[in-house]
Structure 1
Amino acid sequence: MSVQKRPTGGEQPSALGALKLRVPFVHYKLEIPDILQGAILCVVPLSITALMTSVLGIPFEIAVAFVLFNNILYLLHTHFGDPTVAGWITAGIPLYVAFLMGYPEGEARILALIALQLTVALVFLGLGVFKGADSLVRKMPMSLKAGILIGAGVSAVMGEFAADGRVWTMPITILTGAVLGFFMLFSETAGPLRARYGFFRFVAQYGIAIPFLIAYVFGLIIGEVEMPVIEWGFTTIPVGTILQEYSIIGLGIPPFQYFIDAIPLALAAYIIAFGDILVMDSLFKNADSARKDEKLVFSPRRNSIIVGIRNTLHGIFAPFISLSGPAWTGGQALVINRYMNNPRSVMDSYWGGATSLYWGMTIAIVLVPVVTLFKPGLNIGMALTLLIQGYLCGYLAIEMLERESNLERGVAIIVGSVLAVKGAAWGLGIGLVLWLALEKNWFASACAATHPSNDEPAGDAEIASERS
């Protein structure tokens, strides 16, 4: 069976009309480099099992099945016309944990997560179907948007360094991995090294995978990390157990109050996720400029609808603590950089790379030897993910406020601080009050009517008065 070819400068072939269904070996070929990268990076999704076991009380084997189900749903994007390498709403993870910790352990927390995930699904589906995403984010005050990012970033770092945080479970190992990860991703020194030496470019293209592996091996050597017990077999999804103990089929629909409680956090999660949508739009425009042989079409509306479907399926059958988001920025950068820097003869289509990454990751998670090999070090992967996410949230928030007034910066700091300590409802509520009381100019129209604009130049005295 040969792969269908596209005309130069056109879209990759697809089926089912507007659904744009693309399947391997028919509409694209698998890319071995991206499969291998995905297999190495399986440590990233597996790291969420640490939170699922500690916060939700889900057994490790069941948590791995949840991750496998989550990875399979990622493939909905590239198989139905959305080019994004999908992911979590990672920056909000500390906020979701704080929300869930407000409920008693056990069934109540599972129901709270179901309510949150279904509420998030409704937001994405509603804004995707009715095209309200752009309007919501455009009209939200910058101080609130930046404040949410500040709160998410502070929560991420505070959670890792708290008295019971992951850093102190294996401090030398995790801090070593963090230093290596930050150095390779953000250091002023690493940039020239990547440009000059192929080895550093090779290491950098794997994101946090190589720092994780180095830290993991180092932790094994110094004894901070337990030696893995390798098991054999294949990961399965115990459908009956999951449906009976962790889904609305067995537990029933959460109380209505849980949905009310989840609304502020669901809106905050969407606002965080919308930043990824903007980043994706920019990346695909750059890719179109670099590769003239293929046209990539990114639709925020299609992306939002598929994200809503993923959250709905999780909310009904297998609630997932990191929620389902529009993109995994790190994985997206890996695929799109290889696509942009190679001709068609080396990488025929972007779709092969984007889908192969998750085929490789999913295959690795199916293999129990791979899962058990990395199991003792999953706290390392989760800590690295959240520390780097905290860094990204922080600088993005500051960048958003660069051209804003001191008043808006001050409101953003208060919103972020309250959100990090008291949760999304308090943060957004206080932010809205401060915006209404401080930023909103209630008398702007009255002042304009009292002092109409004048096209004639003002006199020296009038100018001096206005400046004073």
Structure 2
Amino acid sequence: MGLYKKRKDGSEQPSMLGPLKLRLPFIHYKLEYPDWIQGAILCVVPMGITAVMMDVLGIPFELAIAFVVINNFLYLLHTHFGDPSIAGWITAGIPLYVGFLVGFPEGDARILALIALQLTVALIFLIMGLFKGADILVKRLPTSLKAGILLGAGFAAIYGEFSANGRVWTMPVTILLGAAFGFFMMFSRTAAPLREKYSFFRYIAQFGIAIPFAVSYIFGLVIGEVAAPNISWNLVPLPIGEIIANYSIFGVGFPPFEYFLKALPLAIAAYIIAFGDILVVSSLLNNANEVRKDERIVFSASRNSIIVSIRNFIEGIFMPYLPLSGPQWTAGQVLVVNRFMSNGRSQVDSYWGGATGIFWGMSIALMLGPVVSIFQPGINIGMALTMLIQGYLCGYLAMDVLKEKGTLEKGIAVIVGAVLATQGAAWGLGVGIVLWLLLERNWFKDEDKKVNETRIA
């Protein structure tokens, strides 16, 4: 008999350890096998980052996939300790992190730079989580600067894929076909009514880029752009000792102070990008609470930020992870929330079964040699699709932020985005602050107010 049967309608799922809200499978919730299966199918998504880690950091594929597996298990810290977020990377900033890292010599210098960046991001999340400082850094940040950071991330994502050495040109037909199919499935005005009308189309659409990846991967194999996989039947090893010896602060040392100074502007930009994900997960879970009245899902931005900080500290110390640790993976969050809302308690007893199951399924699939080796030749496809779609979303969100603003804010945002994408976060933020001070800030506002008060008197 599981404790999950004791939940009263409209209350939180039972937990243990008081405010830590520890929840364990079989004890506090049932296993939701459909979410395990969805997670296993979507294992192709995190595999894509191995291509970037190999190119930028020189990490062999066998070690890069071990990084991915360990990172995936760290996602479970959220759902096991009371945070309902389906966690992920700070994806939109990946091109910015790459631009930052390639400014350092190849080898240990880049590893040290990534350690400095990830530990700085961890510290920012910790401060924001403990002291609820989001209002100071994000809510009061000029709109032009927020939109400029999103535009810069979008520009960098698209440019990186289509540049002379971009992934698109490694297998152009395959990747462009996958991108066209992915954009159609996710954003097309034609696809929206198809999702509403046909349950099969709605079912495959919920897997995000996994289906476009599979279609383009198979097509790439047929036309010869993708190499035939060399199937391995072993389990994926996790060489913890080798990772610590070659990539941790215990192996390469602690980054010099100037590395942290160089990383600070980018860390701030990464946090601003990530804070948008916190707003998204809060909105999605509020919708779930409106639909499923039998279970109350409690989301705390502070709890989420503290756990994100812990993940970044762990990785920054032991295995610096290029896409960093963020508060939410939107595609996975939508999958779990939609399945929870679309079923009653008799089908999906608790949200927490699916929220944990998606990463158990994905993590276990990533440890299976046959699964990893089958998809290894297509990792460039997966990463290219991820970045192209991320570029679209960043551009859309930036335009949405600027929707009710004037030409001044829009012009500044474009300049900030262009500078950030081409020269890095420090230049982008610096130019944005200077333009805000020169153009947006009304230095005579108080003087005008005094003049008006005198006239009224």
TM-score band by shorter chain is: over 0.9
Residues in 1 aligned to 2:343 and 2:398: alpha-carbon distance in whole angstroms: 34
Overall identity of the aligned pairs, in %: 66
- Number of residue pairs matched by the alignment: 456
Work out whether residues 45 and 383 of structure 2, in 8 Å CA contact, stay in contact via their aligned partners in 1.
yes
Contact 2:42 2:362 in 1 (8 A): yes
Deviation at 1:130, TM superposition (A): 1.2
Once the two structures are superposed, residues 238-284 of structure 1 have per-residue CA deviations (whole angstroms, 9 ceiling, x without a partner) of 11111111000111101110000000000000000000001111111
Structure 2 residue aligned with 1:460? none
Q: Does 1:337 align with 2:325?
A: no
The aligned runs of 1:387-426 (5 Å cut-off) are 387-426=388-427
Cα deviation for residue 453 of structure 1 reads: 8.3
User: In structure 2, what is the equivalent of residue 466 of structure 1?
Assistant: none
The answer for the alignment partner of 2:4 in structure 1 is 4
SS in 2 for 1:207: coil
**What's the offset of the Cα at 1:417?**
0.3
1:120 to 2:121 alignment? yes
Shift of 1:236: 2.2
The one-letter code matched in structure 1 to 2:21 is K
- Give 1:4 shift: 2.6
**Could you list the per-position Cα deviations for residues 1-43 of structure 1 after superposition, in whole angstroms to 9, with x for gaps in the alignment?**
5343210000001000000000111111111111010000000
Is 1:3–1:29's contact at 8 Å kept on the other side of the alignment?
no
Letter of the 2:69 partner, please give it: L
Aligned equivalent of 2:268: 267
Deviation string, structure 1 residues 90-129 (Cα, Å, up to 9, x no partner): 0000000000000000110000000000000000001111
2:205 corresponds in structure 1 to 204
Whole-Å separation in 2 of the counterparts to 1:259 and 1:2: 48
SS of the equivalent of 1:451 reads: helix
Equivalent residue letter for 1:294 = E
Q: Distance in 2 between matches of 1:63 and 1:446?
A: 59
* 2:155 is the alignment partner of 1:154: yes
Q: Which amino acid aligns with 1:192?
A: P
Structure 1 residue 366: deviation in Å? 0.9
C-alpha distance in 1 between matches for 2:378 and 2:23: 36
Structure 1 residue 405, shift from structure 2 partner: 1.2
| Structure 2 gaps, min length 5 | none
Q: Are the equivalent residues in 1 in contact too, given 2:175–2:381 (CA < 8 A)?
A: yes
Secondary structure of residue in 2 paired with 1:364: helix
> Residues 172, 10 of structure 1: CA spacing in aligned structure 2 closer, same or farther, 3 A cutoff?
same
Corresponding residue for residue 305 of structure 2: 304
Q: TM-score, normalised by structure 2?
A: 0.99
CA contact (8 A) 2:208 2:331 kept: yes
The residue aligned with 1:452 is 453
Amino acid at match of 2:212: P
> 1:454 Cα shift?
7.4
Give the whole-Å Cα distance in 1 for the aligned partners of 2:163 and 2:207.
29
Q: Would you identify which runs of 4 or more consecutive aligned residues in structure 1 move more than 6 Å? A: 453-456
Question: Whole-Å Cα distance in 2 between the matches of residues 201 and 401 of structure 1?
Answer: 31
What amino acid does structure 1 have at the position aligned with 2:151? I
Aligned to 1:22: 23
| Amino acid of the structure 1 residue aligned with 2:314 | L
RMSD, matched Cα = 1.1
Contact 1:87-1:328 within 8 A present in 2 as well = yes
Distance in 1, matches of 2:113 and 2:28, equals 41
User: After superposition, where does 1:229-378 map in structure 2 within 5 Å?
Assistant: 229-378=230-379
Structure 2 residue matching 1:4: 3-state secondary structure: helix
Aligned to 1:427: 428
Deviation of 1:451 after TM superposition, in Å, equals: 1.7
Partner residue in 2 for 1:228: 229
Say if 2:3 and 2:14, in contact at 8 Å, map to a contact too.
no
Gaps in structure 1 of 5+ consecutive residues: 457-468
The 3 A distance-change label for structure 1 pair 451 and 187 is same
Rounded to whole Å, the distance in 1 between the matches of 2:454 and 2:140 is 26
